[in-house]
Amino acid sequence: MEKKKLKPVEESAKVLLYKPSEELDLKTIPLKEKMKYLKSNITVEPIVLLFMVPSVLSLLATQNLYIDKACRVNLQFSETVCRDLQIRKLDNHTFEEIEVQKLVASVQAWKSIGNTSVATLLILFVGAWSDKTGRRKICMLVPIFAELMTCILNIVNTYFFYQISMEWTVIIDLIVPSLTGGWYTMFLGSFSYLCDITSKETRTFRLGILNLCLTIGYPIGMGFSGVLLKYLGYYGVFSIAAGTHILNFFYLHIGIEDHTWLENKDKKRRTGFIGFLLEFFDLNSFKETIGILFKKGRNNRRLKFFLLLICVCLHYGPQMGETSIIYIFLRFRFNWDEIKYSIYSTYSLILHSIGTIFAICIFSKKLKAHDSILGITSMVSKILGTLVIMFAIQDYQAYLYPLVEMLYGTTSIALRSLCSKLVSHQELGRLNSLVGVVETLMPVVYAPLYSRIYIATIDYLPGVVFLLSIVSSIPVLVIFSWIYHQHRKGIKKKGQNVTTKASETNKNEEGTVPVAESHVECLLHEHRPSTDAHPITISTS
C-alpha cells in the first residue's frame, strides 16, 4: 500500500528531473527536437572559436607591424632595404636583418613580462569575483572588447606610421589586453561557464570540444593571416578581425545567459564604481582562492588537488618550453625555412585535433572511461613522440613525431575535468584562477630553461633538450596512474557497501519503506538539471 502511495509522488518528482544527454537516443526523436537539443548543447564553443581566429589573425599582422616600424621608424633604414627584408631578399642585408631582429626581440621580452605580471595578479581576483556573483559572461565579454579595442588602436598605429615609434606601438598594443587579463580571462570565463552547466558525466566530452575550438582556431587564424596581410595590408587584417570581434560580442551578449543561482542574493552588494572596485579587489577573495588548495575533503581531495596542479606545471611548462625552441631546432637540424615550418605546424595541429576528437569520442563518450585514462594515454603518447624527435635525423622522422604524440592534446582536458570535479560550482572560478596563474607563470620558468639547455647542447646533440620533456612527463604519468588506482579502489569500496546494505535489508523480515518526501529529495539531489540535459515530459493521461 505504501509503495502505491509512493509511486505518484515519484512520478510527479520526475517532471522536475532531466535525463542526461548521453542517455538520450537521438535516433528516436523528431528532427525538430533534435535541433532544439543540439542548440541547447552549443553554448560557449563558437564564442571561443570566434575569439581565437581573429585574435591569431591580427597576431601575425602585429608582429610584422613591429618589424616594419623597427626598420623604417626606429632604425631609419632606407625604403629599399626595408622592402627587401620584408620579402626576405637578405643578400647584402645581413647586418640590417640582425639589428631589426635584436630590437624586436628586446621589446618582445618586456612585452611578455608585462602581459604575464598584470594577468597573474588580475586573474587571482577574477575567479573569486565570478564565483561570488555568478557572472561568467562578463569574463568573456571584457576580453573580446579588449581585443576589439586593440584592433582599432593598431589601425591608428598604422595610420600614424611614422609618428608613433615601435616602442609606443607595443605599449598601445599591450595596455588594453593586459589590464583586462586578455586570453587568460577569456579561458577562465569559458571553462567556468561550461563546468557550471554540465554534469560530471558529460563534462569531459564538452571540455574536449571546447579545447578543440581553441586548438583549431589557431591554424585557421594563422593560415588566413599571411594571405590577407599580403593582399589587404594592415588595414584589411585589423578591420576583418575587429568586425569578427563585434559579431562575437553581440552573439555572446544576446545568446548567453549568466546563472543567477550562483549569486548570493542575501548578501548586501556595494554600489557605484568604488563599490565595484572594493568588491572585486577583496583580499578575502584572494584568501578564498588560495584556500581551496588547503580545503580538506573526502577521498584524499586535498592531496589530489595538489598533485593535479603539479601535473599542470609539468604539462604546460614543457609545452611552452618546446614552443620556444622547436622552430630553431628544426631550422638547424633539418635546414628548414619558414614555409616548411608553416606546413609542418599546420600538419601537427591537424593531427593533434584528430587525436583529441578520437580520444574524447571513443574513451570519454563511447567507453565512458575515467578522466585519468585520458591522461595516461596522452602521457604515453607524449613520451614515445618525444623519443622520436629527440633522435630524429631525417625529415620523415620529424613528421612522424606529431603522429606518435597525436593523443597528447587530451592532457589538458583530463586535468581540467579532474580538477573541476574536486570543487563545488561556487569554487569553479577560483579553481580556474589557480590553473590560469600556473599556466601564466610556467613560460617564464621553462622557456629560458629550454633555451639554455639547447644552447649548451647544440654542438653535439641538439635533440637532448627534449629529454627535459620526458623527465617532466614521467611524474605526470605516475600521478594519473595513482588517481586511476584510487578511482578503482573507490568503486570497489562502494560496491562492498552496497552489498553489505543489501544483506542487512534481506535479514530484516518486514523491511522498511522510505518516506515519500525523502525519496523525492534524493531523486532531485541525484539529477541536478543542466543544459546538457533533455527534459522528460510525463503524460497525465
455-494 confidence digits (pLDDT tens): 888 878 888 999 999 999 999 999 999 999 998 888 887 7
Quote the CA–CA distance of 301 and 294 in Å, as a whole number.
9
Report domain 41-260's class. mainly alpha
Quote the CA–CA distance of 17 and 187 in Å, as a whole number.
31
**The pLDDT value given to residue 485:** 92
Per the CB < 8 A criterion, the answer to whether 385 and 404 are in contact is: yes
Q: What cell does 121 get?
A: 595578479
Quote the CA–CA distance of 207 and 213 in Å, as a whole number.
10
Looking at residue 466, the DSSP 8-state letter turns out to be G
Q: Which residues pair with 535 in a beta bridge?
A: 18
Q: C-alpha angle 296/186/232, rounded to 5°? A: 160
> Where in the chain are all domains bearing CATH 1.20.1250.20?
41-260, 300-488
Identify the sign of the CA torsion 142, 145, 149, 150.
positive
- Going by C-alpha positions, the residue among 399, 397, 406 that lies closest to residue 377 is 406
User: Residue 88 carries which side chain, given as an amino acid letter?
Assistant: R
Quote the CA–CA distance of 83 and 102 in Å, as a whole number.
18
Mode of pairing for the β-strands spanning 533-535 and 18-20: antiparallel
* SS3 call for 18: strand
Q: What cell does 418 get?
A: 579532474
Quote the CA–CA distance of 181 and 230 in Å, as a whole number.
31
Q: How many CB atoms lie within 10 A of CB 26?
A: 11
Q: C-alpha angle 471/476/478, rounded to 5°? A: 100
Element (H, E) at 458: none
**The pLDDT value given to residue 497:** 67
DSSP assignment of 148-203, as one string? Answer: HHHHHHHHHHHHTTTTS-HHHHHHHHHHHHHHHTHHHHHHHHHHHHHHHHS-HHHH
- Give the residue carrying C-alpha cell 600521478: 479
Distances (CA, A) of 4 to 1, 85, 276: 5, 85, 55
**The pLDDT value given to residue 43:** 84
- Going by C-alpha positions, the residue among 420, 381, 370 that lies closest to residue 404 is 381
- Give the residue carrying C-alpha cell 569554487: 427
149-202 confidence digits (pLDDT tens): 999 999 999 998 888 888 898 888 888 888 888 888 898 888 888 888 887 777
pLDDT per residue of the chain (541 residues) written in tens, 0 to 9: 444 444 443 343 333 333 444 445 556 677 777 677 666 678 888 999 999 999 988 887 888 888 888 888 888 888 888 887 777 676 777 777 778 777 776 776 677 677 777 777 888 788 778 877 778 888 899 999 999 999 999 999 999 888 888 889 888 888 888 888 888 889 888 888 888 888 777 787 888 888 888 878 877 887 787 788 888 989 999 999 999 999 999 999 998 887 665 555 555 666 666 766 777 777 777 787 788 878 877 778 889 989 999 999 999 889 888 887 887 788 778 877 767 877 888 788 889 889 988 998 888 888 888 899 999 999 999 999 999 999 998 999 999 999 999 999 889 889 988 988 888 877 777 888 888 888 878 877 888 888 888 888 887 888 899 999 999 999 999 999 999 999 888 888 777 666 666 666 666 545 544 444 444 444 444 444 444 433 333 333 3
**The pLDDT value given to residue 14:** 38
Quote the CA–CA distance of 61 and 153 in Å, as a whole number.
13
Burial of residue 162 (CB within 10 Å: 0-12, 13-18, 19+) is: exposed
pTM: 0.69
Q: How many CB atoms lie within 10 A of CB 88?
A: 10
Quote the CA–CA distance of 289 and 131 in Å, as a whole number.
10
At 18, phi and psi to the nearest 5?
-125, 150
**Which alpha helices (H) appear in 70-93, and where do they start and end?**
79-86
Half-sphere exposure of 239 (CA within 13 A, CB side): 9
277-296 confidence digits (pLDDT tens): 777 777 777 787 788 878 87
Q: Is 1.20.1250.20 the CATH classification of the domain at 300-488? A: yes
Per the CB < 8 A criterion, the answer to whether 370 and 364 are in contact is: no
Per the CB < 8 A criterion, the answer to whether 195 and 428 are in contact is: yes
Identify the sign of the CA torsion 95, 97, 98, 102.
positive
